[in-house]
Amino acid sequence: MGILDGKVAIITGATRGIGFAIAHEFLENGAKVAICGSRPETVERALSELQVIDEGYPVMGITPDLSDPDSIAAEFQKVVDAFGRLDILGNNAGVSSRTPILDYTADEFRKVMEINVDAVFLCSQAATRIFREQGEGGCIINTSSMVGRYGQPSGSAYPTSKFAVNGLTLSLARELAKDHIRVNAVAPGVIHTDMVDALPDSIIQPLIASIPLGRMGEPSDIANAYLFLASDMASYISGAVLPVDGLSRP
Ligand code: NAD
């Protein structure tokens, strides 16, 4: 018995990194999962990697254009058609930014907001339509960031977008509580993904030394928080932004 038995989840940005770990954790715990990616080839690769772990996993891939409400609705409907329902949406896709203020173009700033904020809104809207039609509640979890609480010294679009994710989380939680739709967020600190692996030791080592729990987070740390918030153990939790950061706060 898994704690997500019978549940169906859609996870955006699930072809690698944190999203892939969330999809894997949900599958291990009994959920049926649709992984979202922007390109069919990366979705196919992620599906193959999951099938190597367990070829019986109930997992499918979808490729919504996260800037297009019609594309999102059509791709989410494929999940309902294949798996019969939808219970959980994980809004995890995101892009980071390190651009200094004077180097930003309006277009670059807007692009970060489009994927990190607008897409969270559009996917939540599409999932809410399905949840309301089913009439049995639902669960939305957003991947925020610790910089959505403290800011960061460059790339201001990124923390700004994560502050907005927290605002959307709290507001949708209040708006959707009457429908028994819970909305929460997980705020990772520094997580060991490809992005972090690409940084030189001279940046990484001081970063790790500054984390009170003495290590970087692993994608599985975030997946565990997602699992808890998606499960019935969290049935009385909504509007929370849960830090998963090893206490690495300025
Ligand atoms: P990643 O770059 O490995 O994965 C990001 C995912 O988002 C990928 O699957 C990518 O395909 C998807 N994505 C990006 N742009 C997209 C678009 N336009 N359309 C569709 N999908 C798109 O990064 P990650 O570290 O796994 O990040 C996942 C989430 O965690 C992001 O929201 C990120 O902001 C957040 N986060 C990461 C860290 C960290 O240290 N890695 C810390 C805090 C928050």
> CA 228 from chain center: how many Å?
14
Number of domains observed in the structure of the chain: 1
Q: What is the pLDDT of residue 196?
A: 81
**Cα(92) to centroid of ligand 1, in Å?**
6
Ligand 1 atom with minimal separation from the 116 CA: 32
Q: What is the pLDDT of residue 38?
A: 96
Coil, helix or strand for 244? strand
Specify burial of residue 58 (Cβ count, 10 A radius: 0-12, 13-18, 19+): middle
104 in active site = no
Q: Is 193 in the pocket of ligand 1 (CB under 6 A)?
A: yes
Pairing of strands 59-62, 32-36: parallel
pTM of this prediction exceeds 0.95 = yes
In a domain, 20, yes or no: yes
Q: What is the pLDDT of residue 200?
A: 83
187-225 tens-digit pLDDT: 999 999 987 887 788 888 888 999 999 999 999 999 999
Q: What is the pLDDT of residue 9?
A: 99
**Cα(178) to centroid of ligand 1, in Å?**
31
CATH number for the domain spanning 207: value is: 3.40.50.720
- DSSP one-letter code for 101: G
Output the six-digit token pair for 119: 């897409």
Pairing of strands 181-188, 138-143: parallel
In a domain, 203, yes or no: yes
Q: Is 37 in the pocket of ligand 1 (CB under 6 A)?
A: yes
Q: Are 95 and 143 in contact (CB under 8 A)?
A: no
Task: Give, for all 250 residues of the chain, the pLDDT tens digit.
Answer: 799 999 999 999 999 999 999 999 999 999 999 999 999 999 999 999 999 999 999 999 999 999 999 999 999 999 999 999 999 999 999 999 999 999 999 999 999 999 999 999 999 999 999 999 999 999 999 999 999 999 999 999 999 999 999 999 999 999 999 999 999 999 999 999 987 887 788 888 888 999 999 999 999 999 999 999 999 999 999 999 999 999 998 7
In a domain, 250, yes or no: no
**Cα(1) to centroid of ligand 1, in Å?**
30
Q: What is the pLDDT of residue 224?
A: 98
In a domain, 247, yes or no: no
Domain that residue 151 falls in: 8-241
In a domain, 116, yes or no: yes
Q: Which residue has the tokens 């949708």?
A: 172
Which residue has the least CA distance to atom 10 on ligand 1?
13
Q: What is the pLDDT of residue 207?
A: 85
**What does the H/E/C string look like for 197-225?**
HCCCHHHHHHHHHCCCCCCCECHHHHHHH
Q: Is 66 in the pocket of ligand 1 (CB under 6 A)?
A: yes
Report the complex ipTM.
0.98
d(CA 49, CA 103): 38
In a domain, 249, yes or no: no
In a domain, 143, yes or no: yes
Which residue has the least CA distance to atom 8 on ligand 1?
13
Give the number of other Cβ atoms within 10 Å of residue 39's Cβ. Answer: 10
